[in-house]
Structure 1
Amino acid sequence: MADLIIACLSQKGGVGKSTLARLIARTYAVSGWTTKICDFNTTQLTSTHWAKIRKDAGIEPKIDAEAYNQPTALTREDYNLIVADGRPDSDQSSLDIALRSNLVVIPTGLSLDDLQPQLAFAKELVAKGVPAERILFVLSKITDSKIAIAEARGYLAEFRVADQHLTLKHSYQKSQNHGYALSEVQGLNTARLEEVADLVAAEIVSMVTELQEAA
């Protein structure tokens, strides 16, 4: 049985759900945890393909990934950490995953086209039994507009939003194409990008610790 389940869920695609799943898995794996990404997006299998690229390239630490259809299988996995990479536009599957998870991470961009469905999705999870304190929003794949970031945080004010955010950078995208997580970004002058990714991951780890201590 898994010691910890973290879900990366989204009502829509393209906001960085799989990116966060990989970052979380790598963060725990580098600390010695056995980790697996359960990839529920069986049409695209982005995390599954990423893990294969990573394995074939010999990148350490090892991160397993596999396609999944049934959320009930999550609790039967014999890993320290399971990261559920959910399928967009799948309300029942997302709810079943969220109810079995210690933490639900929801990425969103800055536009209302992203914010509105993601906030509605979070509210729906709460209405169906997921505690609001187990939900964390992460501003992801965004620009550095301070005004837009502040407006997005205000829009999501009823939920916790990570202090750090992930900007849209070519180095992030290119590194993931080769099996790396955001905290392993490859290229010149990328130390700050790695640092920001590590800070986002640290917030997620800290929130998990808080929830476990409060339980």
Structure 2
Amino acid sequence: MTVIVAFVSQKGGVGKSTLARALAREATFGGVNVKIADLDTQQGTSVDWHRLRLSRGIEPTISVEAFSSSSHALAASEGFDLLIIDGPARTSQATLEIASAANLIVQPSGTSRDDLVPAVREFHALINESIPHERLVFSLNRVGTAAEESSARRYLEKAGYHVLEGFLRDRPAYRQAQNGGKAITETYYSKLNKQSNALIQSLIDRIPTYG
């Protein structure tokens, strides 16, 4: 049975596709048969990243495909161990459809109040639609300082949600890696790779098949 991990967000630019790609890379590297379903038909960032990765011959090869709806993505999941849904960049009816099908829903957020408040509202809305609380998890991305991370973590935990261990710092090397078709776990800097790997491992530990 295919396990489904969905990445959703209430705004663009918070690192949804970044995490989806990194999870896909690490799971594929570990021998898991993975597919990324890119549902952001306007941006298509994961599909573009996949093409760049293929053109540069970067291993491991990761299966990525664009879909117009979650139902189409789910229909194409047969034969894969893990389906990673890279959801639309804004909240929509599709967000609920994705969340209803997923075993785990991950919402990345920055550390500012402008990021955190709408993100919590998004998960509250899913709970109001009967999405189980235990399926919802936050990831802190684009963090500037440890103090910012600690404050944001306290806010999200006080709101009643689990936050992945570790966090993703705002570093140019992460952007450079992705610009070259790599994941955030494939930078040229071992310290940054160690930090991003810790975050992704925390995510893997929450997935039912792997946890």
5 Å matches for 1:33-182? 33-76=32-75, 77-78=77-78, 79-146=80-147, 148-157=148-157, 158-182=160-184
Task: State the distance in 2 between where 1:3 and 1:36 align.
Answer: 10
Q: Structure 1 residue 20: deviation in Å?
A: 0.4
Q: Structure 1 residue 89: deviation in Å?
A: 2.1
Q: Structure 1 residue 37: deviation in Å?
A: 1.1
Counterpart AA for 1:67: A
The reply on whether 1:24 has 2:20 as its aligned counterpart is no
RMSD: 1.5
Using the size of structure 1 for normalisation, the TM-score is: 0.92
Moved more, 136-145 or 5-14: 136-145
The answer as to whether partners of 2:149 and 2:167 remain within 8 angstroms in 1 is no
Q: Which whole-Å deviations, capped at 9, do the CAs of 1:79-135 have from their partners, x for residues lacking one?
A: 221110111223210110111111111100010110011110011111112111111
Task: State the distance in 1 between where 2:46 and 2:39 align.
Answer: 9
Percentage identity across paired residues of the two chains:
34
Q: Which whole-Å deviations, capped at 9, do the CAs of 1:186-206 have from their partners, x for residues lacking one?
A: 3xxx10111111111111111
- Segments of 4+ moved more than 3 angstroms: none
Q: Structure 1 residue 74: deviation in Å?
A: 3.1
Distance verdict in 2 for CA 1:173–1:163, change over 3 Å: same
The reply on whether 1:199 has 2:195 as its aligned counterpart is no
The answer as to whether partners of 2:204 and 2:210 remain within 8 angstroms in 1 is no
Q: Which whole-Å deviations, capped at 9, do the CAs of 1:156-189 have from their partners, x for residues lacking one?
A: 1110001200001111100001111111113xxx
Q: Structure 1 residue 212: deviation in Å?
A: 7.5
Counterpart AA for 2:62: I
Task: State the distance in 2 between where 1:74 and 1:134 align.
Answer: 20
Q: Which runs of 5+ in 2 are unaligned?
A: none
Counterpart AA for 1:37: I
Task: State the distance in 1 between where 2:42 and 2:206 align.
Answer: 31
Task: State the distance in 1 between where 2:43 and 2:169 align.
Answer: 23
* Matched pairs, number: 207
Counterpart AA for 2:187: V
The answer as to whether partners of 2:24 and 2:62 remain within 8 angstroms in 1 is yes
3-state SS in 1 of match to 2:142: strand
Moved more, 31-40 or 3-12: 31-40
Task: State the distance in 2 between where 1:191 and 1:154 align.
Answer: 28
Task: State the distance in 2 between where 1:31 and 1:100 align.
Answer: 24
Counterpart AA for 2:149: I
3-state SS in 2 of match to 1:66: strand
The answer as to whether partners of 2:6 and 2:84 remain within 8 angstroms in 1 is yes
